[in-house]
Structure 1
Amino acid sequence: MLNTFEKNIFKSSIQKNPETMYKPIRTLLIILFISWGCVATAQLNSIPKDGEIFVNPEFGDNLNKGTKDHPIKSVYEAAQRINHANGKGSITIYLSEGIHGLDKTVTFHPANWHFTKENRLTIRAEILPDSVSWDQGKMPVIISTMPLNFKPYGNDDPLHGASYGLQIETSHVTIQGLRILGTPVHETPKEGYVKRNYPIVREGMDLTDLRITQCLFLGDIHAIPNHLSILASGHGIEVDHCVFYGVKDAVVFWQTNEPAVGCSMHHNLIVNNYGGAVWAWTVASDFKYYNNVVSNTNVFWEIGKNEQMTYNLSNSIVLGYNELLNKNGGAFGYGEPADTSKLIYKNDVIIKKKGAVELDKNPTSKNYLHLKPGSIGSELGVGLFLK
């Protein structure tokens, strides 16, 4: 306690310099602000010790630690934490059911975190299709709502409107169990314009080991065009057990410095796509294509304009197509017919220009948008289920 003399001195000091009493308060506030900032920065740049990050768009908060009990809110935040982290080892991002809206491109491009084939980056649903508790409503929904002003490779877009959803710029990545839509735009508003979204992209031409599995890609040309579900450069691209329904283009093997090795497509179902099903622009002749079913497609297969490679197909079905094999296509169109001898049919391949598959259209069925049991192609095991 202050005595009377001390109180008078303190009072006199304040009267001469009123800021005197505020200095300690300001100093304390500054210290608290810096401390909070350091804690927040450390938290944002940290990866949980178990390497697991949980994302919940409804209950999450981007200031949370990212654990199962304290999830973050956005996939973008998860990418930022990984991009700024230092270390090595596997990281798994678990997406809850619900709508994960992307209002900007989510780029995974870690500078100081190193993945390997065994210790990889996995972006997956919390509950996968083979789980007994799974149903179609458990799939996390990815939808792109960002402006269509992306510049591929930094260049202006010649077709006046593009966006990327998930951009993967690191090797050794798995994307699993997601329901992936396009973006709600009018795709061709005028001549020479193609407004388009690329939900999954990899630009790195020297990257390797990207697996996309058990994902459902949906689109509607009138309401929510899914222009090109997977646009991937580099090597080691594996697309398996996916369903593509109503999209424009399913998979494009994009650019590499040399023919892309170690790529494959198997156990996929592609139905009602109004573009091209398989764009084998850059894949080497070791490309493995087996146990796939394609039905009601505009163009089944697209190859590079030089028609240098031949490809082996096995245990697959194509029912209903306008063009079997084209070359020199792109976002602007589908090119012109190519030499069909570039496709070599090995074991059990059925190709019919007319025909259609039978799908389960019951929305409460786990088998929704899959081939009806016992119908043509159902024996090939295509679709979301590994078991």
Structure 2
Amino acid sequence: MSNKKFTKLVLLFCLFFNFTFLVNAQTTSIIKGYDIYLNPYKGNDTNAGTKESPLKTLNEAAKRVNKASDGGAITVYLSSGIYGMNETADFNPVNYKFTKANRLIIRAEILPDDISWNPSDMPVLISTMSFSVEKDDKGQVTGSQNFGILIQNSHATIQGLRILGEPVHENPSKGMLIRNYPIVWEGKDLEDLRITQCLFLGDKFAIPNHLGVLANGKALEVDHCVFYGVKDAVVMWKNPVSNSSMHHNLIINSYGGIVWTWSATNDFKFYSNVISNANVLWILDKDEKESFLIENSIIVGYNSYVNKGGGAHGFGENANPEKLKVSKDVILKKEGKLEIIEDQTDKFYLHIKSGTLGSNLGAGLFTK
């Protein structure tokens, strides 16, 4: 064989090898999905979105996810820092398929269970966006709203984020209400959303956090979250919400309703939660169709035990207390409060003080 022919064969082999490698690599990336990295200080929304070249905003990450096709897991990593949400991060990947195993995950780079974690590592999301205007039948403005993270797909997880509201005047005039919804799950035939290890913070006067999680879908799980000073924690509001749960959450100083089960079915599980200083513990749908069970929880200090109906502008009216069943392992006290760690340098900042009432249930950001 001549040297010239040999050289051609080598070149053809190399081209074939490279082509095969690229095809396999692309196939593998479809199976395994891919990662998107964010950094609010070093990032730029024209970057590639890799760890070395991160994006700046969560809404740009949503746009990248929405352009994806085929299927596989996608993880969006947020580094520590402050993310100003000047528009909704709308995740709506219509040409991409997630499954229970291969999910859309939006998470902090460092999670609470990591040995090196401390509260200052949490990515901070704060809304700075405009509000849509709402009018009644007479054309009079009754309020406005906006969404922080909007999830329009099944099989998603949001983990390890510190989520604030928006610095607005919530009640500018009589009958008018301005409200921010940090996490909204909305769409048709949705299933499987998990919100875990997130810290929802608000102040009704300075930075109202109207509602932590507004959900419309089956298999909702909210666990190991802290809701501190948030008006309403979780609302299940449309279509039958089956196979859902709230567990190991710490909810302090709520000035609205803790959990709204308007659309939840009676298999909704509520256990190992710790609640203190609540306005309304539970709000049923106006027809009181379902009954629910509270298990292995501690509830100290509340104004109203169970209501029905209500909405954005109110908390309804007293409901039949028999609609809430309480197991023997529940501590329920109308008066009192729990002891909270307020030292910001403490790893357990805003958690129950060790050795005091409520500290033994494992409610809060840590799963280990």
Q: Give TM-score scaled by structure 1 length.
A: 0.85
Residues 358 and 182 of structure 1: is their aligned pair in 2 closer, same or farther, counting only changes over 3 Å? same
Check if 1:253 corresponds to 2:236.
yes
Q: How many residues get paired?
A: 337
Per-residue deviation at 1:295? 0.6
* Aligned residue in 1 for 2:330: 349
Is 1:150–1:164's contact at 8 Å kept on the other side of the alignment?
Answer: no
Q: Please give the residue correspondences for 1:190-269 in structure 2 after superposition, counting only pairs within 5 Å.
A: 190-256=173-239, 259-269=240-250
Deviations 1:265-319 (A, max 9, x none): 0000000010000111111100011000111000000000000101011100110
In structure 1, how many angstroms separate the alpha carbons of the residues matched to 2:134 and 2:128? Answer: 16
* Aligned residue in 2 for 1:3: none
Per-residue deviation at 1:159? 3.0
Check if 1:324 corresponds to 2:305.
yes
Is 1:100–1:143's contact at 8 Å kept on the other side of the alignment?
Answer: yes
* Aligned residue in 1 for 2:273: 292
Could you tell me which amino acid in structure 2 is paired with residue 218 of structure 1? L
* Aligned residue in 2 for 1:178: 161
Q: Secondary structure at the match of 1:160?
A: strand
Which of the numbers 144, 147, 151 marks the counterpart of 1:168?
A: 151
Is 2:33–2:72's contact at 8 Å kept on the other side of the alignment?
Answer: no
Per-residue deviation at 1:151? 6.8
In structure 2, how many angstroms separate the alpha carbons of the residues matched to 1:382 and 1:114? Answer: 33
* Aligned residue in 2 for 1:333: 314
Identity of aligned residues (%): 56
* Aligned residue in 2 for 1:115: 98
Deviations 1:7-49 (A, max 9, x none): xxxxxxxxxxxxxxxxxxxxxxxxxxxxxxxxxxxxxxx9998
Check if 1:272 corresponds to 2:253.
yes
In structure 2, how many angstroms separate the alpha carbons of the residues matched to 1:158 and 1:285? Answer: 37
In structure 2, how many angstroms separate the alpha carbons of the residues matched to 1:177 and 1:65? Answer: 24
* Aligned residue in 1 for 2:340: 359
Could you tell me which amino acid in structure 1 is paired with residue 158 of structure 2? I
Which of the numbers 109, 123, 142 marks the counterpart of 2:125?
A: 142
Is 2:226–2:249's contact at 8 Å kept on the other side of the alignment?
Answer: yes
Per-residue deviation at 1:57? 1.1
In structure 1, how many angstroms separate the alpha carbons of the residues matched to 2:242 and 2:165? Answer: 28
Check if 1:81 corresponds to 2:71.
no
Residues 187 and 72 of structure 1: is their aligned pair in 2 closer, same or farther, counting only changes over 3 Å? same
Structure 1 unaligned residues grouped into runs of 5+: 1-45
Could you tell me which amino acid in structure 1 is paired with residue 324 of structure 2? L
Could you tell me which amino acid in structure 1 is paired with residue 332 of structure 2? I
Structure 2 unaligned residues grouped into runs of 5+: 1-28
Is 2:31–2:71's contact at 8 Å kept on the other side of the alignment?
Answer: no
Q: Secondary structure at the match of 1:275?
A: strand
In structure 2, how many angstroms separate the alpha carbons of the residues matched to 1:262 and 1:99? Answer: 34
Could you tell me which amino acid in structure 1 is paired with residue 277 of structure 2? N
Is 2:133–2:143's contact at 8 Å kept on the other side of the alignment?
Answer: no
Q: CA RMSD in A?
A: 1.8
Check if 1:103 corresponds to 2:57.
no
Could you tell me which amino acid in structure 2 is paired with residue 92 of structure 1? T
